[in-house]
Amino acid sequence: MRRQHGAPEGGGAVTETIEAFSGYYLKTSEEFPEGKKYARVSETVKPGGLPDLPHIVEAAEIGTIAHSFFASFCSDSFKPDTVPEAYAPRVALTITAWKQWKEEVGDFWPISVERRILSDKLRVGGTMDLCADFGEGFEVVDWKTGNPRREDKIKTGGAYALLAEEALGVKVKRARVVYLSKKGEGHKEVILDDLSEWREEYLKILLHYHLNHGAIK
């Protein structure tokens, strides 16, 4: 993925390239031709490596497809992915659950949808599903199509709130983790009001990750 930033004095836009690898992102530019590494948020919080078992890979693929629909519901700049026939019933159920959630929460005004954000301060990055104004301030939202885990709260209330504040320049008031069932069981929303707890916990986890994996240069 290539992104161009404002032209420096003397003309010519600065181009940076962000590549995704297992466990990290690599950003290269004219200033850093050898690249700068950023740990993946998901890698920093997971309790241990998961094997690429068929059912795990399939669940991840269904989640990715479903997210393309959620993004398209929030912004015209996104188009839904093609749905393989074998996945269609489960994707349809997650979409139904998403629409039920949307009807429950009412209107919101997105400022960022399905956006990859890198933090130069923390040297970590991830794809944030949504940052939006829900009428009482800005909130980050993480839509999940898997089973609830404690790591989800740390990612959303800690990591993504910090990333949003650095990259978007807003104060995040609240975080929402929304579980959308692939089995027709609707949705469950977990609202995180006190983000200081989750920010603090994530920063400790991130420090531990960087120490164990070597300081990212």
Q: What is the CATH number of the domain that holds 40?
A: 3.90.320
CA–CA separation, 24 and 50 (whole Å): 16
Parent domain of 170:
2-213
The reported pTM is: 0.86
C-alpha distances out from residue 104 to 24, 34, 46, 98, Å: 36, 48, 30, 10
**Tally of domains within the chain:** 1
Coil/strand/helix, residue 196: helix
**For 31-69, what is each residue's pLDDT tens digit?**
888 889 999 999 999 875 555 556 678 888 999 999 999
Q: What is the DSSP letter of 10?
A: T
**For 137-164, what is each residue's pLDDT tens digit?**
999 999 999 888 889 999 999 999 999 9
